[in-house]
Amino acid sequence: MGKRYFGTDGIRGTVGKDPMTADFAIRLASAVAQVLVPAGGTVLIGKDTRLSGYMFESALEAGFTAAGANVLLLGPLPTPGIATLTQELGADLGVVISASHNPYFDNGIKFFDGNGSKLTDAIELKIEQHLEEPAITLESKALGKAKRIDDARIRYQEFCAATFPADLDLDGLTIVFDGSNGAGYKVGPRALADLGAEVITIGCSPNGRNINDRCGSTHPELLCTTVSAVGADAGVALDGDGDRLVMTDENGELIDGDQLLYVLATSRHDEGTLKGPVVGTVMSNLGLEHALRERNIAFRRAKVGDRYVLESLKQEGGTLGGETSGHMIVLDRTTTGDGLVCALQVLAIMKQTGKPLSELAAGMPKYPQTMLNVRTEQRLDPSASPAIMAAVDEVEDELADTGRVVLRASGTEPVIRVMVEGEDPNQVDELAQRLADVVAANATGTEG
């Protein structure tokens, strides 16, 4: 039986539409409590800066306390910070209210177990079975309590700082930090400044509606121009919930997740601390795979989604993985993707080597890659369409051995992602558009 509500990263949707309603959040908390939280257990709840976060925080608090769980409210905090504090405070469950890189009118709910790890498919299925039942309310003496934790940001900031080499600091570096008007808007600049950097902030004035709005890792244009304009050494951009990272070099050129993964992997390989293969996804640039191969570094591809990268790392005994979008996982530092922690690792390499980020990333050529999102009226499996798959075969024949085609359905929205990669950028653009047109035509039931 497939999952109805959980996608690749929790449950997500437009606020006010099923399932992102207050009523559903109460039932969800009740279901999760019955599956994962023992009687009298503890649940942490954190959120990003969306206006709807207040509503879902209150609804989840009601559902969990009615089911007998004690709730600690963390307020705005990056997703990886909630995973970290779940472990540090010995909680049974961590809850994140966020729709990550989506606009403010969306929201989502995702979970970490007591080890700071995301839930398995099997656990999510168990939770969904309980969602078919009414929310429970125990008798008064069995109800849980709720209180706020005022030092959550400081605790997480101290954790981030502890992942930076003790014999280094960021003195002498000027860094532009873009918090995407999201969960990392306070902790990011303060962590960098406490390590000695001069910090210039953008995207750090949230108002509940401007999260991810022309800022952050999904819209890094302002970061690029600001770094170049002020002569900074690097730029750092998180997404709305702080688990994604992209950077810019000293020239204002974007350094994406694949390039950052290359920088981290080659540095650790050179110092002899890299364990197991590096794990990317089916969307990782072919240039990353080839560049790592030249350095005799093993590389594996997982399905898209940081949870699948994490699963592959654990299976393969690796510690370093990530996605082009900037979900970076450094397992010997954290249990989940953490944009701020990964930024600190890259900045440490810059300080250790004395090299600018442009030079560190130069060893990875980026193959031209075009990705188009085709929105559909409902979830669609492209492999089930003969017309779409015939078009894929034609494109692959034209690319021969010089490129790749990836076609996949988004796990969080009704979108088909069409990616074509190859040596010739003009050919890549033309083939991607041709394939996207076929997908769009067949997704709406018309002839392509």
Nearest Cα to Cα of residue 240 among 199, 208, 281: 208
Residue 435: the pLDDT is 95
Amino acid letter for position 442: N
Helix axes 386-399, 425-443, angle to 10 degrees: 170
Q: What are 113's strand-pairing partners?
A: 93
Residue 414: the pLDDT is 83
Place of tokens 């993964």: 261
Nearest Cα to Cα of residue 404 among 395, 413, 412: 395
Q: What are 300's strand-pairing partners?
A: 279
Is pLDDT above 90 for 81?
A: yes
User: Do residues 389 and 448 make contact, with C-beta atoms less than 8 angstroms apart?
Assistant: no
Q: Coil, strand or helix: which one is 41?
A: coil
Cα dist from 130 to 125, 138, 140, 340, whole Å: 9, 16, 22, 36
414 exposure class (CB count in 10 Å sphere: 0-12, 13-18, 19+): middle
Rounded Cα–Cα distance for residues 147 and 65 (Å): 11
Residue 409: the pLDDT is 85
Nearest Cα to Cα of residue 49 among 88, 18, 20, 75: 75
**Structure token pair of residue 327:** 């979900």
pLDDT tens, residue by residue, 152-190: 999 999 999 999 999 999 999 999 999 999 999 999 999
Mean pLDDT of 117-144: 95
pLDDT tens, residue by residue, 398-429: 988 778 899 988 766 789 999 999 989 999 99
Rounded Cα–Cα distance for residues 188 and 199 (Å): 10
pLDDT tens, residue by residue, 21-38: 999 999 999 999 999 999
pLDDT tens, residue by residue, 217-240: 999 999 999 999 999 999 999 999
Q: Coil, strand or helix: which one is 352?
A: helix
Residue 305: the pLDDT is 84
Helix (H) or strand (E) holding 107: strand 106-113
Mean pLDDT of 104-133: 95
Rounded Cα–Cα distance for residues 246 and 264 (Å): 13
Q: DSSP code of 118?
A: B
Q: Looking at 67-203, list the stretches that DSSP marks H as alpha helix, in order from N- to C-terminal side.
A: 79-88, 121-130, 152-162, 187-194
Residue 446: the pLDDT is 41
**List of domains in the chain:** 11-150 (3.40.120.10), 156-361 (3.40.120.10), 369-443 (3.30.310.50)
pLDDT above 70 coverage of the chain, percent: 98
What is the pTM for the complete model shown?
A: 0.89
Catalytic positions: 100
Residue 377: the pLDDT is 77
Q: Coil, strand or helix: which one is 401?
A: coil
Question: What is the DSSP pairing of strand 415-421 with strand 404-409?
Answer: antiparallel
Residue 412: the pLDDT is 65
Compute the mean pLDDT over every residue in the chain, rounded to the nearest whole number.
94
State the first-to-last Cα distance of the chain, in angstroms, to the nearest integer.
Answer: 32
Is pLDDT above 80 for 203?
A: yes
Helix axes 152-162, 79-88, angle to 10 degrees: 90
Residue 444: the pLDDT is 61
Q: DSSP code of 14?
A: E
Residue 1: the pLDDT is 61
Choice between 304 and 173, residue whose per-residue pLDDT is larger = 173
Rounded Cα–Cα distance for residues 414 and 196 (Å): 44
Residue 127: the pLDDT is 97
Place of tokens 């009601």: 62
pLDDT tens, residue by residue, 317-376: 999 999 999 999 999 999 999 999 999 999 999 999 999 999 999 999 999 989 999 988
Residue 109: the pLDDT is 98
**Structure token pair of residue 5:** 């509500």
Q: What are 254's strand-pairing partners?
A: 248
